[in-house]
């Protein structure tokens, strides 16, 4: 049921990257309990992300695979209940601004005093220290300051923010889950817990390592949008087809480029020199002309099972239906919601099918009973 089976995680309810990181842990078998506030719902359980109308918490994918309890953490009783749970947990995850958990009496000092083996994981945008630590921010701000956003643009155009996957999810939630897994290994070998400071601005910058390495080697010399794999070159670009849909071309290596050109039906010497950056704009214009002559799916048939590194640009609805995704069961149906399957895949400890996200506070009594706290309260 996953390699993290037997690990207990307390997730202090929040938004975005921390819930995503906890979803990854739950997908791999950890018992994750989401601690919601009493009296009133969270944003995702009461309204949609734009604050409009009612939404169904059972369809909010990042909350899948765990149970939910409701506690008033501002009350002495709620604080005491959480600390009792901490004594029995392996991990606590909080995504508050720095200082908030301490003001609640639930900071690292209090929690590690109750459970020295605890992994206390903190997820923020700016980190626990620094001049911006207590400032508000979102994915767009973190990737801007990390030097990432400036590179999401074509030459001469303004940066275009991607979906919040680079800062929030990759630089935040995935980094958080990785840090927790590493800290659990440390607990297993030493018995010692610790505090994790996971910051989205750090994680976003970390993902630039390959590009910065190429830049240091002189292999990434140009401004954003003018390099070999940032839409500067004709062999790494998105092209529009006759039906207004798009193809992604990534024929970087010369053998792949040769197959790409051959399948296009062009003579090898008809295109401008792909190795001359001065000829890249002309090469892109010529390819754009050719690829606009047929529909996207016609071109997909032309390049099917080739090494030309050409793929259709699929929509949210199309991606789960692609034959490769179907063959790998890359998307699953959980409670009527199509969503990505747990990943990565393990040969000896495969992940189970996730359960649907819980209703807020639905499992309070069951969790307290199973964790031995209900019995403890009834027999002081």
Indicate which residues carry an active-site annotation: 138, 168
| Residue in the block written with tokens 């009296």 | 39
Handedness of CA 14, 16, 18, 24 (dihedral sign): positive
Could you tell me the two tokens for 47? 């309204």
List b or e across 231-246, with b for residues whose CB sees 16 or more CB atoms inside 10 angstroms: bbbbbbbebebeeebb
Distance CA 89, CA 270 (A): 65
Residues 6+ apart with CB under 8 A from 183: 119, 121, 193, 194, 196
Q: Is the dihedral of CA 368, 112, 95, 22 positive or negative?
A: negative
Contact call for residues 212 and 151 (beta carbons, < 8 A): no
Token pair recorded at residue 264: 């296009």
Paired with 32 in beta bridges are: 9
Distance CA 202, CA 239 (A): 33
């Amino acid at each position: 049921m996953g390699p993290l089976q037997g690990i207990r995680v307390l997730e202090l309810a929040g938004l975005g990257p921390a819930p995503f990181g906890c979803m990854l842990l739950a997908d791999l078998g950890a018992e994750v309990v989401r601690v919601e506030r009493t009296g009133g719902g969270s944003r995702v359980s009461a309204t949609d992300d734009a604050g409009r109308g009612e939404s169904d918490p059972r369809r909010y994918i990042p909350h899948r695979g765990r149970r939910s309890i409701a506690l008033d953490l501002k009350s002495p009783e709620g604080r005491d209940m959480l600390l009792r749970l901490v004594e029995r947990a392996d991990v606590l995850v909080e995504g508050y601004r720095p200082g908030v958990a301490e003001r609640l009496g639930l900071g690292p000092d209090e929690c590690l005093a109750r459970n020295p083996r605890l992994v206390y994981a903190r997820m923020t945008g700016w980190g626990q220290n620094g001049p911006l630590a207590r400032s508000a921010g979102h994915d767009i701000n973190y990737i801007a300051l990390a030097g990432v956003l400036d590179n999401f643009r074509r030459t001469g155009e303004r940066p275009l923010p991607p979906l919040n996957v680079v800062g929030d999810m990759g630089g935040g939630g995935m980094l958080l889950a990785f840090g927790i897994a590493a800290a659990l290994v440390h607990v297993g070998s030493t018995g010692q817990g610790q505090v994790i400071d996971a910051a989205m601005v750090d994680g976003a910058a970390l993902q630039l390592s390959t590009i910065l390495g190429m830049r240091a080697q002189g292999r990434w010399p140009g401004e954003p949008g003018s390099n070999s794999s940032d839409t500067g070159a004709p062999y790494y670009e998105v092209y529009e087809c006759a039906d207004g849909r798009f193809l992604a071309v990534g024929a970087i290596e010369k053998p792949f480029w040769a197959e790409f050109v051959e399948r296009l039906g062009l003579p090898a010497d008809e295109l401008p020199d792909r190795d001359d950056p001065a000829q890249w704009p002309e090469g892109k214009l010529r390819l754009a002309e050719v690829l606009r002559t047929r529909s996207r799916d016609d071109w997909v048939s032309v390049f099917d099972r080739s090494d030309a590194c050409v793929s259709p640009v699929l929509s949210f609805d199309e991606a789960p239906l692609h034959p490769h995704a179907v063959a790998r069961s890359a998307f699953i149906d959980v409670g009527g919601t199509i969503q990505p399957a747990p990943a990565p895949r393990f040969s000896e400890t495969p992940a189970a099918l996730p359960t649907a996200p819980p209703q807020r506070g639905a499992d309070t009594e069951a969790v307290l009973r199973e964790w031995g706290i209900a019995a403890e309260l009834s027999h002081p």
